[in-house]
Amino acid sequence: MTEHATPVADTDGFPEHMEIATANPGRAITVIAVSFLLSIAATFVLGWIYTQGGNPAIEGMMLAVVFGGIGFGMAAWGKWLMPKGPFVEEREVLTTEENQEKFAKTFTRGQVAIEGRRSVLLKLLLAAMGTMTAILLFPIRSLTGKNPDKVLYQYGSGWKAGSQLVTDEGKPVHSDDLEVGGVLTVFPPDSGDMAMDQTLLIRAAAAPLPFNPSATPGGYVAYSKVCTHAGCPVGQYQAQFGKLLCPCHGSTFDVLHGADVVFGPAPRPLALLPLMVDDNGYLRAQRGYDEPLGPGFWSRGGVR
């Protein structure tokens, strides 16, 4: 068996019968280790960016560092730390002790690059590839879409217990502001979703309404303005008949009886916002809406 390689002295853990492509293996190990560490760090940054909502530009840069770090490290490992060739092996019968010894040394060529300190590089490579694989599985979560509880059940998040009723200009509503038959669109302070939080305040009578006296002080009653049929804003109040009309498809609701549907395609009543009057006479919500607002998934397609 013949080898075309120049024997050298033991250098940084390499056996003396091996020759590698660099005269400074310690520096090569450092460079390769740094490239693997950069890949691992970029993988964690990529995962964090994804969990925060994502940023395509930053995610693209991090992916480049992830794959580039692993690729560069593996290429540098093969170029600088693997034994130099070419190796020519003449097949001989392994009958002599000398031939058996040479045969055993052949297997150390591939093993030598991961012995001793070089085992750290192998661990870093496996860590980089493992974290990359784990992070790349994150997008599978996107296949499930959004949680239906957050998409289909919309409760008007701006309304909470004690929320003051204010106009679209932010003016608080006092219990003396409306006469019987008066109507006003109100919102919670600092509403984050005015389209969903919009509420129709009606003074339907001079005294609490019989269907729910505790939630209608002074004859005031408040219903979600979002129609339960198609989500149109309900706003046409017929004080003479105590009816509330949706202009889109003609759904009609009975204000004096919990906004029950008396006509049209709406599948269920408007949501009620229970009211109270504070010590200064201003109207407030007893609590937020406790049922979904607007059209619900269960009421589409004629199924209620």
Are 69 and 118 found together in one domain? yes
The pLDDT tens digits of the residues spanning 250-298 come to 899 999 999 999 999 998 899 999 999 999 999 999 998 888 788 865 5
174 falls within a domain: no
pLDDT of residue 60: 86
Regions of the chain where pLDDT drops below 70: 1-23, 84-96, 99-100, 102-118, 140-157, 296-304
pTM for the complete prediction?
0.52
Query: Rounded to an integer, what distance in angstroms lies between the CA atom of residue 174 and that of residue 170?
Result: 13
pLDDT of residue 300: 44
Cis peptide before 210 (omega within 30 of 0): no
Are 193 and 131 found together in one domain? no
User: Which residues span the domain enclosing 8?
Assistant: 2-145
Choose the final residue of a domain: 130, 145, 160.
145
Give the CATH number of the domain where residue 292 resides.
Answer: 2.102.10.10
Number of domains in the chain: 2
Are 133 and 188 found together in one domain? no
Are 187 and 104 found together in one domain? no
Choose the final residue of a domain: 99, 120, 145.
145
Q: In what order do the strands lie in the sheet with 220-224?
A: 183-186, 199-203, 220-224, 272-273
